[in-house]
Amino acid sequence: MKGKVIGDILVVKQDVENPNGLLEIPGVNRVVKLGRINGLKREPEVKVLLGDGTETVHKENHCLFKMDVAKVMWSKGNTGERKRMSTISEDGETIVDMFAGIGYFSIPMAVHSKPAKIYSVEINPVSYGYLCQNTVLNKVEDIVEPILGDCRETAPRGIADRVLMGYIGNTHEYLPTAMEVIKDGGVVHYHESVPDKLKFIRPVERIKEAAGDRGVEILNKRIIKPYSPGVYHVVVDAKIG
């Protein structure tokens, strides 16, 4: 049975004839079926197959993430990127996380690095609520400042040494905002879902277009995971100005 364990919940993608048998998996107390992830707010469709409730606390890379798997998403495929980002910042940086979710990147960066401040913007009120709880769970509320709203309207401008754009969909539409947020010499981490033939071409072109007359230095390009047949989730690290 393919699935992913989030906290004490096993998340599967198909119905199970005998879900009780899955309780033999260490740490699993509940089983839910995950359907589609919908909309800008990244809301999953979930059916409970075994057990009560869909809220849990997941531990990864010495960080705690409280969430409701029926209301917010968690991608196991992004584990490596979350770990990479946890130690990428330099001491004293100001960071803006434009799509913070429940703290996927903000929490590990605050726990494992020494940024001065992380402004974590999230549009989904449910995810924002868990983001606030997770800053307290991980004792980083003095570093992470959650902000509820659309990052195009609420992200602080001109202050960031580093901007995180850890969302795929219409992410390129937010690049102009990222350029308003980032300081000269700062780094933007831009995520995009891209067809194989364009995987490191289109994202770079979009970053350079958004940067305008400001210089762009590409620091890193990497595949995070396959997204769909012939399409990859990639991230490009770009120094701006």
**Interval 117-161: pLDDT, tens:** 999 999 999 999 999 999 999 999 999 999 999 999 999 999 999
pLDDT in tens for each of the 241 residues of the chain?
578 899 999 999 888 888 888 888 899 999 998 877 766 656 667 889 999 999 999 999 999 999 999 888 888 889 999 999 999 999 999 999 999 999 999 999 999 999 999 999 999 999 999 999 999 999 999 999 999 999 999 999 999 999 999 999 899 999 999 999 999 999 999 999 999 999 999 999 999 999 999 999 999 999 999 999 999 999 999 999 9
75 is in an annotated binding site: yes
Question: Is the distance from CB of 232 to CB of 199 less than 8 angstroms?
Answer: yes
82 is in an annotated binding site: yes
120 is in an annotated binding site: no
Q: pTM of this prediction?
A: 0.92
Domain ranges of the chain: 4-76, 77-240
Q: Which CATH architecture has domain 77-240?
A: 3-Layer(aba) Sandwich (3.40)
